[in-house]
Amino acid sequence: MGNDVEYYLKSLLRCPITKGALREMSPDEIDKANSRIADGSLLCCDGTAASRKLAAACVSADERYAYRIDDGIISLLPVLALVLSDTDIDKVEEYALRREKIETRNFYDQSGWKSDGKGVFVDTKRFEDLRPVSRDYVHNSHLRVKKQIANGGRYLLDVACGPVQYPEYIDYSENYDYRVCVDISVAALKEAQKRIGDKGIYVIGDITNLPLNDNVVDSVISLHTIYHVPADEQARAFREIYRVLCPGGKGVVVYSWGRHSLLMCLLFFPYYFVRPIVRLVRTTPRLLRKAKANHILYFYPHGPKWFVNQDWEFEYEILVWRSVHVPFLKTIIHKWLFGKKVIDWIYSWEERHPQRAGQLGYYPLIVIHK
């Protein structure tokens, strides 16, 4: 963030607790905070004593809460706030992370964003089809996001940015001055820094409580994020995306209908019967190890009916990102079984009928207009 940190704090970011302005802490204020950290009297909002000294930090305008800035990453998650006012110590339980969010953060910090040394992450291997036969389909689906966002502007907000692992993902922000990368995982932000560099603004934050001011970003993308949010908070996540958008801006969300996808239920019907048996055989030897590592990833997709029945304050379109899921690709699409022709036909059908494919398929592309 360099010398522009104060500008971003004033014009772009806000305190996730007070919803008010932020400013940089002065050297004297940091020294005082570090003295309290040294004697154990400075608490975090999770009730634990702060243990690491501050090199840089920002503070809410009312001077009640401070937030670490470590290596250019701003910790704007309420549970990570440092409680400067003793009168607020009894409120720490209000800001505790829910179990589902802790599970998601732990998965990505502990394993999801670990690389195999060749630049391929655990999450990518687990949830994407990297085979050559599916390469064009995967590439073209990634391009669908860029077609929907504005061609350029001041800020592109990437919510739950992950490591920005694909070249197409990097290209989304090529015509923007800055990419605002928000993620609950610090491992994700450290990897994103390697790819985006000084063009990025890096924030630890929560999609259901974005630490950004109203009407400040030109476009928003959120890819494969909201269905990992607790089921009863997902509508709030959509509304937060709308809130931070500038008038005339667009937000693009890649969501999943999961088991509610009519197309996948029809095409992959037999698999849903054998899947529990296959999973049991494959995972039983690893269950205890996974439980100990706490590498659990929460997943709850609502169906199309849930989405359209919400009383949204915004206009939206439901298009297609991909109509078929990865298990379908890996099971049905093979080079020796005319897989390339089949997947090309699927993509062609999606292009001809984007609304129908989005409503019936597995991964809709939900475009929010402001």
DSSP, collapsed to helix, strand or coil, labels residue 183 as strand
- For residue 231, give Cα distances in angstroms to 156, 262, 302, 308: 26, 20, 8, 16
* 212 shares its domain with 269: yes
- Residue 252 maps to a domain: yes
- Residue 100 maps to a domain: no
Cβ contact 216:251 at 8 Å: no
**Alpha helices of 87-230 — where are they, by DSSP H?**
99-107, 122-127, 135-148, 167-171, 186-196
- Residue 148 maps to a domain: yes
Cβ contact 233:356 at 8 Å: no
* 180 shares its domain with 282: yes
**CATH number reported for the structural domain that contains residue 302 in this entry:** 3.40.50.150
pLDDT at residue 285, as a whole number: 44
Where is the domain boundary, 95, 118, 139?
Answer: 95
Cα distance between residue 178 and residue 91, in whole Å: 35
**Over the stretch 316-331, which tens digit does the pLDDT of each residue have?**
999 999 999 999 999 8
DSSP, collapsed to helix, strand or coil, labels residue 224 as coil
Number of H helices, E strands in the chain: 15, 13
Where is the domain boundary, 50, 73, 95?
Answer: 95
Cα distance between residue 229 and residue 225, in whole Å: 7
Cα distance between residue 312 and residue 199, in whole Å: 33
List the end-to-end C-alpha distance of the chain, in Å, as a whole number. Answer: 28
pLDDT at 191 over 80: yes
Total tally of structural domains belonging to the chain: 2
pTM: 0.91
Domain encompassing residue 159 = 105-369
**Which range is least confidently modeled, 9-13, 254-258, 354-358?**
9-13
* 341 shares its domain with 234: yes
